[in-house]
Structure 1
């Protein structure tokens, strides 16, 4: 009797378990589990390059890129949020700089060079970059325009489509340049987390152009980079602690109040349809090379607007009729060419440019100031070079001489 009861119980257990086992097998047969074999099957040192290929193969993705500056008065965040179409080589993002009222004002003004007009839209299509503020026309920066305007366009041009992604200037560009040395941490969801390092000069490429002046002074301390790849080997996120860069920046008097500096990047919505909302949607487009000009090329009396360029500089402006809304009126273009006997420490030479502009201001028609509510005084933009020459030919006038040469634009600014 005891043996019979045991057999019946075992048959009952088998009967109960059989449907469960069959159901599990049926679920697996209908779906293929995601695999990152094309990435994780590569040698460790090559997995980041393979991950970049796998990410692009997804076709599309949404992204968020941030650069956070931490101070005792709170954090300022430079952010780009948008979508990328890898197949078409296009992207669209809303960009801007946000900070609490307690953030140091001087530091915020310095950071604003990379986000000059608060919130703005930015789109890329291959080598072309488009900028838009509000409902204005898209302003198209072609490689030709960038070449013409030079370094002043560097911050915008730096987002043109690259090898890693259609929107450049993020950690996505730097991940393929890092080499994993240690096996990644494997997560339960199939993702993997790598911890690697970057050379400081490479990590410095994430900073706005006007903050990259440290050059060879970045030092030797490496920057920590954390990279997460999803179960299919695609780039899911990356973050970098850029604190090692602050020493060099502080030494040059930049971002002195910033104690923490961090970059982050996240990708989601792989393969989902992308709503363009960019210049290809039929919106009005203007060629920056045709409607903008260097302020240094404007004649005395000309007016211009600085807004809407997306550049955060007064070097490149939109020339307009003085009867239209404007915030700059040119007093004149002046040259500095002075020589002094001996070797002198004359600094940058800008003071001589200001002297010439003072003369231009005094000579300007008085009615120029009636065209808009201009601020008192005048503004100066330009640069000069200081050189020291030595002649030893024994003739009169030979010896050491210091020369200052430069070009400056003198202009009125709206109050």
Structure 2
């Protein structure tokens, strides 16, 4: 009887407790936050910053970033495609510039200044940026190397890991700096689409550094952005119409045949293992850019250098080599421009005066440099100048000054 009573008592206890247990489970299910609640449950003005945090919390992601220059003859596209590890602060991407057969040749030549020939691999690790062309060694650009080599390296330094993502220079950098004002559109899959605007000077940061340097005042016309967050509240994609930025470039007669300028960014494969091997994987040597490269303006007359394995698309920074080795150029002379002209002159720069000095240097160069052979006829030049004005109370009145430093160089034939 005692055993029977115990059994009955146990079954009764279960019967009494079961509704309470079920009820507690039901409460737990109701208390569990919905996907994306950490973002969408916040005030509208705070959602983009929260989305940036949610994206980083995913750990890793694949990305594609593009800058599209649209013209009547087709498009030219700067593309970066790769993966990011938010926890480690690293990224690995392949960069390249492609263009349609009928894209305006002059504008394409201009765009190639910030896009070295062929595909380029870029890796970032916190403040350092690594660059590799083809099967060459990794070239490491540290902040110290960037400071030593000058602003030309900004096209590479711009990708160093930032507060938003391990690969910088994309629309991901803009999103947390924009405040949504209108409620987003909710899609069937739970994602949200926001339509917002950004200041033109902020949007211009998406451009290659050499394009950014051509304009100081980007105007006030806002740039239109579309931002999509996935159901979890993570950044899924963003697009921008950079028409207002292009209009300001046109005022400087830059990319005159480009009629549209658009940027896009898309993330996928959240939390999946990062693909590809970066410089920490071994197998290829790593060189310090600050030790193997130099500004061309720092080379002595007659010195030789290469430009193809610097990771840059210009001759401003080069790799010095012995002239007996393969090289792309030879320094003809370092020249200075220092002119004072009467009155106020409408002069853009001192390039024409530098060309006169380069021609004189070529005329005085060794015979083998002037008659073709190893070097193509003529010369190139790179440098910068300043144009100013001053006023004298004495004779002469207003004067225009032109000063600058240039490097004259020969290219191999």
TM-score, structure 2 normalization: 0.88
SS of 1:335's equivalent? strand
Tell me if 1:266 matches 2:246: no
Alignment-derived partner of residue 240 in structure 2: 240
Per-residue displacement from partner, 1:245-272 (whole Å, max 9, x unpaired)?
2221212111211122111111111111
Contact 1:90 1:126 in 2 (8 A): yes
Distance 1:264 1:379 in 2: 36
In structure 2, the residue corresponding to 1:322 is in which secondary structure?
coil
Distance 1:216 1:348 in 2: 17
Structure 1: distance between partners of 2:242 and 2:340: 45
- How many Å separate the matches in 2 of 1:347 and 1:74? 32
Change (3 A) 1:164 1:372: farther
Q: CA–CA distance in 2 between the matches of 1:82 and 1:231?
A: 23
* Within-5 A mapping of 1:128-143: 128-143=128-143
1:260/1:352 CA distance change after superposition, 3 Å: closer
> Equivalent residues in 2 for 1:109-258 (5 A)?
109-213=109-213, 215=215, 217-258=217-258
For the 8 Å contact 1:380–1:408, the answer to whether it is kept is yes
Contact 1:201/1:215 (<8 A) preserved: no
CA RMSD of aligned residues (A): 2.2
Secondary structure at 2:148's aligned position in 1?
helix
Q: Which moved more, 1:98-107 or 1:83-92?
A: 98-107
Task: Quote the offset at 1:116 in angstroms.
Answer: 2.1
Q: Report matched runs for 1:389-404 at 5 Å.
A: 389-392=390-393, 400-404=398-402
Q: Deviations over 1:196-252 (max 9, x none)?
A: 111111111111122224645433221111111111111111111112222212121
Q: Is the 8 A contact 1:301 1:368 kept in 2?
A: no
Find the counterpart in structure 1 of residue 304 from structure 2.
303
Q: Confirm or deny: 8 A CA contact 1:322 1:371 kept in the other structure.
A: no
Q: Secondary structure at the match of 1:130?
A: strand
In the alignment, is the contact (CA less than 8 A) between 1:323 and 1:371 conserved in 2?
no
Moved more, 309-318 or 214-223: 214-223
- Give the gaps of 5 or more residues in structure 2: 1-28
**Contact 2:150/2:295 (CA < 8 Å) preserved in 1?**
no
Could you tell me how far apart the structure 2 residues matched to 1:372 and 1:49 are? Answer: 60
SS in 1 for 2:362: helix
State the alpha-carbon separation in 1 of the partners of residues 376 and 221 from structure 2.
46
**By how many angstroms is 1:88 displaced?**
0.4
> Which residue in 1 is equivalent to 2:21?
none
* SS of 1:176 mapped into structure 2: helix
- 1:410 deviates by 1.2
Structure 1 pair 182/356, CA: closer, same or farther in 2 (3 Å)?
same
Q: Aligned with 2:337: secondary structure?
A: strand
Asked if residue 93 in structure 1 is aligned to residue 97 in structure 2, the reply is no
The answer for the alignment partner of 2:51 in structure 1 is: 51
* Residue 24 (structure 1) aligns with: none
Matches within 5 A, 1:26-105: 35-105=35-105
User: Offset at 1:371?
Assistant: 9.5
Q: 2:353 — aligned with what?
A: 352
Q: CA deviation at 1:400?
A: 4.6
SS of 1:113 mapped into structure 2:
helix
Q: Does 1:321 align with 2:319?
A: no
**Using the alignment, how far apart are the partners of 1:222 and 1:387 within structure 2?**
33
Unpaired segments ≥5 residues, structure 1:
1-28
Give the equivalent residue in structure 2 for 1:413.
411
**Residues 69 and 388 of structure 1: CA distance in aligned 2, closer, same or farther (over 3 Å):** closer
Partner of 2:337: 336
CA drift of 1:331 comes to 1.1
Shift of 1:342: 4.8
SS at match of 2:92: strand
Give the TM-score, by structure 1 length.
Answer: 0.87
